[in-house]
Structure formats: C-alpha cells, structure tokens
Amino acid sequence: MSTYPTTAEQIDQCNETGRTPVVFIHGLWLLPSSWDRWAALFEEAGYTALTPGWPDDPETVEEANANPEVFADKTIGQVADHYADVIGKLEHKPAVIGHSFGGLLTQIVAGRGLSAVSVAIDPAPFRGVLPLPISALKSASPVLGNPANRHRAVPLTYDQFRFGFANAVSEDEAKELYEAFAVPASGAPLFQAASANLNPWTEAKVDSKNPDRGPLLIISGKKDNTVPWSIANASYKKQERNEGVTDRRDPEPRTRAHDRQRLARGRRQGPRFREALCAR
C-alpha cells in the first residue's frame, strides 16, 4: 500500500494550509524522494513543499528498477507541461527549485510566468547555451552513444554513476548512493538538449525574456562533471537579459557529487539555498 502522498494529495494539502508553496523538480536518474530531506527543511521554515514526479514516476527505486520501461519516451515538453498543470492547480504561485534537467524545467516553467521565484541548480542547457565541455559529453555518453536510446529508458552502471554523480566521495559512499537513489531515465531529454541549437522547434528552449518570469537564481558547481560551470554561466548570461532579478551563485569549488548528495541526503547545504530563495 502506498505511503508516499500523491501529487493530488500534495496539492490539496498545500491549498488547505495557505502557506507559500515550494515545488521541487528532480532531474534524470532520480525520483522525487531524492528531495525528501530538502522538503523537510522548507516545511520547517514555514513553507509547504511539493515533490511531484515526472509523469509515471514509480514510487520507489525498487519499483523503478523493476519496471524501467515506464520512463521511456518522456520528453522535455511533456514533463514541462506536466509541471505546469501541477502548478496551475495551486492557489498561490510557488517558488520552484530544480536540479540538472529539473533546473532546465524550472526555467521553462518560469519562462511561462508560472513561478513566483525560481532556483536552478546545475541546470541542463537549453537552446542558445553553447558550451559543450568534454566532461558533459562523457556524462551523457551512456545515452547519446546509441541513437536507439532516444526511445528507451537507460540505466547507469556504477562506474557511470560514479563519474556523473559521486566523483568526490569515498568508494563506499558512492556505492551507497548508487544503491539508494539511481534509477533508469528517459533517453529523450538528452537527445533533445544535445540537438537544441540545431533545431528551431526544439522543446529544450526557455523564454528568458518574459517579463513575468520572476526572480531567478542559478547555482553552479565549479567542478561538476555533468553540468560544468561554463554551461551554468552561459545559462545565466542568457537569463540576465530579462528585466527581472537574475542572480548567479558560484559557491566554493565543489563537484556534482556534493550537489547531488545534498539533494539526495539532505545535508545542511539546504539552508543556503533556502536563504537565497527568501532573499529574493
């Protein structure tokens, strides 16, 4: 029997409380549960946290690994529309926080004027973001290396996860994280992002000029293998043209491991992002 609240239940609870909602959007190879401890931090601060998944997300890592086909063919546009639908059912505009492809989705939602304030952490690139570092290509190669993966759900091996997610922790901790959080992911978004600058009709695009976008904070990890600083900085350069408040934070040098582990394990980096949100 399910014990994790459904998206509908989270929406109802949020509307009943009347508190400011914060919507968390996860990226590839993770589930909504990776935000649980972050959600708890924001609840403690007086917000109502919502952690809706992508369409058809299983509830647990075990279910996800047993039924990987549910992830296949989920595109950026489908997932963005899904989150727009969730946000449209809230009585108050939410703050939206996303990581990696969740950071791209956060910017898409903000570009539609649906969020009060947004935080994109190590966001995946969109059309107009040009840097393509070698480490980012290597992180994406488990998917992009086979064109057939466009329509598949693709898992990561431990070594692939280690490079892209856990490159700055001990072997034991990396294995623990892999077992606890890694799930297959749709290959489609990576192909869409990879071809965005060649496709005028791509779904991997952001309306960065919408005056209703709201304040936006972009946070990067300087040693991130998957979304290196150059990608996050290029996203910021596109977004800073907006008439609203746009800010960037480049904290102490750290890797994606630090970001993802804090996302997954709820280490006390959460208050820093919460403070940044409140300041906006």
189-193 long-range contacts, CB within 8 A, separation 24+:
189/28, 189/74, 189/75, 189/76, 189/79, 189/101, 189/124, 190/28, 190/140, 190/143, 190/144, 191/143, 191/144, 191/149, 191/150, 192/75, 192/76, 193/76, 193/101, 193/104, 193/124, 193/125, 193/126
> Count of domains in the chain?
1
> Could you list the residue range(s) of the whole structural domain that residue 44 is in?
7-279
Percent of the chain with pLDDT over 90: 83
In whole angstroms, give the CA distance from residue 13 to residue 227.
34
Band of the pLDDT at 1, cuts 50, 70, 90?
A: very low
Q: What is the pLDDT of residues 110-147, one digit of tens each?
A: 999 999 999 999 999 999 999 999 999 999 999 999 99
Q: Is the pLDDT of residue 2 over 60?
A: no
Q: What is the pLDDT of residues 57-111, one digit of tens each?
A: 999 999 999 999 999 999 999 999 999 999 999 999 999 999 999 999 999 999 9
Please indicate, yes or no, if residue 258 is contained in any of the structural domains.
yes
> Whole-number mean pLDDT of the chain?
90
- Residue owning tokens 């290509």: 137
Please indicate, yes or no, if residue 17 is contained in any of the structural domains.
yes
Q: Is the pLDDT of residue 275 over 80?
A: no
Please indicate, yes or no, if residue 169 is contained in any of the structural domains.
yes
Please indicate, yes or no, if residue 1 is contained in any of the structural domains.
no
Please indicate, yes or no, if residue 198 is contained in any of the structural domains.
yes
CATH number at residue 91: 3.40.50.1820
- Average pLDDT on 188-217 reads 98
Q: Is the pLDDT of residue 197 over 90?
A: yes
Q: What is the pLDDT of residues 229-269, one digit of tens each?
A: 999 999 999 999 999 999 999 865 544 555 545 544 444 44
Q: What is the pLDDT of residue 237?
A: 97
Q: Is the pLDDT of residue 148 over 70?
A: yes
Q: What is the pLDDT of residue 280?
A: 47
In whole angstroms, give the CA distance from residue 104 to residue 89.
21
